[in-house]
Amino acid sequence: MQTKTRNIHTFGIIAATAATLVACGGGGDSPSKPSATVQGKAVDFYLSGATVTFLDCDNKTTMTNFNGDFTFPDGCTKSGLKVAGGTDIGTNLPFTGVLQAPPVEYKVGVTPVISPLTTLAVQLGATQAAAFATKLGLAGKDLATLDPLQDAVALKAAVVVQQLVDQVAKTLTGLSTDGTLSAEDAAAAASSALASASGNADLTNSTLVSTVVSSAVQNAKSGLPTNLQSNITAVAANVAALTGPVIASQVASVDASLNAITLSGTPADTLAALKASGSLNAVRESAQSTTMTSLVKAVTSAALNDASNTSKLAQLGDAVSTGNADKIQQAASNLGSAVDSTAIDNIAAAVTLKNYLLLSNLTINDTSYPITDSITATGGTLNSIQVAVAKHGDPFRGGESAVRAGFSYAYGGNRVDIIIENVTLTFNGAQLTNAAVPAGTTYSFRIRGTLAAAATLTNISADNLFSSANGGSLNLPFTVFLDKLKSAGSLTQAQIDTLTPKSVSRFPVTFATTGISGKRVTVGALAGSSVEKTKTASVKTDSAKVTGDGLKISVTLNP
């Protein structure tokens, strides 16, 4: 049976000590007259101009203000709540989902919150919600009054949950072209599916995502076209195979972009810092994406009903998730008439990178390697990593050719994080001809582990980060960076030696980049003869954070 939004009356109130909702007072089932005005708050990020419906108070409605605040109607303090519409002030995009909160007793001085987390609590019920909230790191917190913009763990969880639900709902919308499924019921079916799959709280897990998609399709059965209802199990499996990889990739980007959130003095300051670091770019792109809707529409109903197509549909989904046009066309060709070629062409055009920086090779100890997740290098001691960079189109969108760059690696029980606030790039056509850190640029460093150090430094004269390797590369000489800490008195030479990777060793390296002030700069990587999307990566020091497209590579260093 299709899941309905208004299915909250059977759920109990959840104990706060079990990381869930708390009843804020007694009262019967009917609304009681408040002694004063009760204020509430709607949060994805704050929802401005959203409609709040009081489900147990004659479906009365009100609107939220810029900060998501709303006022309960006179005489109503206990009601299930629903929120739809409005604008998410984090992304500045229309909010297309539906949020819910269960009917707990609200009181003056206690601000009830409606968020993606309370929506899951509505779907789960007391026992399951407690377990799921604990897995999300929210044990002992009252979700009924927890403002995610005042709690870093809750903020990340709420945004990732909402983006996962949103992408699954868009999938259902694409399936229901000739059905009766409303956008509201699609969101409810997706939320219910995530709730039922709560055995694994890693929302980026591809198995979890596929399970959620499959369950959501079956939840929405009655609102789908008749020709998809008769064999719903096969349809659900095929849709999950097709869209699961793309959804998992998008959710993973959102998850990575919100790692290590540091709350500022006010929610407005927190939002400003997230925007400046580039952390909201992945959230915005996920919210704007219509790929899920287009992708399921591109496959014929007959093909979705055919269980033999599952593996081929999974290959198409994998290809779309990479943005690799050649792989997309090959996977579509394998499906033949099961897909609409024009629709696939449009999808390929939408997900293929256009204005971007291309990373084509890495040079480690004077040897060039193609970019892969794992690289085995030689040389005994690692001195620098050089990344070949070229420009395609206008990756800076009319702005200056400059990026904020973050570099991180872990070695010998320590993690080293370095952020450079301005790396100015010069190109001749597509070719990189110079990379410099202008005088007066801030570097920030953080070392954690057996050693502990942190510093913020400003260079007196410009630093050269250009290398002619591979036709023009950005040079990351981390030993030079560490020498800056030595000069500042933060490290000794002996400590620098312990932080310098030597053979035989294996260590992760992360490179992240974004535009100045968090402006989006798209980065692609060469994969054979085609270009693919890079991963979302973050580097954080005590004073700064860079989140954007980048590389995450495991390097093995041999003699």
> Do you find a cis peptide bond into 153, omega within 30 degrees of 0?
no
What is the sign, positive or negative, of the torsion defined by CA atoms of 271, 273, 275, 281? negative
What is the four-CA torsion angle of 70, 72, 74, 78, rounded to 10 degrees? 180
Rounded Cα–Cα distance for residues 345 and 143 (Å): 44
Q: What amino acid occupies position 241?
A: A
Looking up tokens 């535009």 gives 515
Q: What is the CATH topology of the domain spanning 16-150?
A: Immunoglobulin-like (2.60.40)
pLDDT of residue 129: 72
Phi, psi of 552 (to 5 degrees): -130, 110
Looking at every residue in the chain, the average pLDDT score rounds to 89
The share of the chain scoring above pLDDT 70, in percent, equals: 92
Residue 4 has pLDDT above 80, yes or no: no
Residue 166 has pLDDT above 70, yes or no: yes
Phi, psi of 499 (to 5 degrees): -95, -5
Residue 30 has pLDDT above 80, yes or no: no
Task: Indicate yes or no: pTM above 0.85.
Answer: yes
Looking at 257-317, which runs of residues are DSSP E strands? none
Residue 380 has pLDDT above 50, yes or no: yes
Choose among 519, 518, 548, 549: nearest CA to 533: 549
Average pLDDT over residues 429-446: 97
Domain boundaries of the chain, sorted by first residue? 16-150, 157-351, 356-558
Q: What is the pLDDT of residues 237-263, one digit of tens each?
A: 999 999 999 999 999 999 999 998 999
Query: Roughly how many angstroms between the first and final C-alpha of the chain, as a whole number?
Result: 63
3-state SS string for 427-446? EECCEEEEEEECCCCEEEEE
Average pLDDT over residues 48-68: 96
Rounded Cα–Cα distance for residues 473 and 94 (Å): 40
Question: Among 70-84, 412-426, 427-441, which is the least confidently predicted range?
Answer: 70-84
pLDDT of residue 198: 58
